[in-house]
């Protein structure tokens, strides 16, 4: 399956799941965060089923040919994920903690240590 077909499938699955569970979504939940969480879980499940792929997280593959990629490979998967969510998706630490099912302080620590490692390499 090509990248376009896989992307279309994941978007379809995401919105199907969101629409199927929309009545269970409490009014206090952030809809944007909820959709992002569903998409993340589907992508991670797809990556687990394709474990023959490299260990590069799916959301980070488009950086593969970029010169910063070598620096990012030195970070943990969790550090890569929170940095991506913070700077590429422009989410705040509270939203990231909801999406990754982590404590907000843990997200802040991952961001701090990841950026500190990047600063040393760059």
Q: Where are the domains of the chain?
A: 1-53, 55-122
Confidence of residue 54 (pLDDT cuts 50, 70, 90): very low
Q: Which CATH architecture group holds 55-122? A: Orthogonal Bundle (1.10)
pTM of the model: 0.59
C-alpha 112/C-alpha 105 separation (Å) is 10
Q: What is the average pLDDT across 33-51?
A: 75
pLDDT at 18: 81
What HEC string does the chain produce? CCHHHHHHHHHHHHHHHHHHCHHHCCCCCCHHHHHHHHHHHHHHHHHHHCCCCCCCCHHHHHHCCCCCHHHHCCCCHHHHHHHHHHHHCCCCHHHHHHHHCCCHHHHHHHHHHHHHHHHHHC
Confidence of residue 93 (pLDDT cuts 50, 70, 90): very high
C-alpha 58/C-alpha 7 separation (Å) is 11
């Amino acid at each position: 399956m090509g990248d376009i077909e896989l992307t279309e499938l994941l978007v379809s699955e995401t919105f199907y799941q969101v629409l199927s569970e929309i009545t269970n979504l409490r009014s206090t939940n952030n809809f944007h965060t909820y959709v992002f969480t569903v998409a993340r879980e589907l992508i991670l499940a797809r990556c687990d089923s394709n474990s023959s792929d490299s260990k590069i997280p799916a959301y980070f593959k488009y950086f593969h040919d970029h010169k910063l990629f070598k620096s990012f490979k030195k970070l943990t998967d969790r550090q890569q994920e929170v940095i991506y969510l913070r700077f590429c998706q422009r989410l705040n630490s509270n939203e990231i903690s909801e999406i990754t099912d982590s404590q907000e302080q843990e997200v802040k620590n991952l961001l701090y240590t990841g950026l500190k490692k990047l600063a040393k390499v760059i």
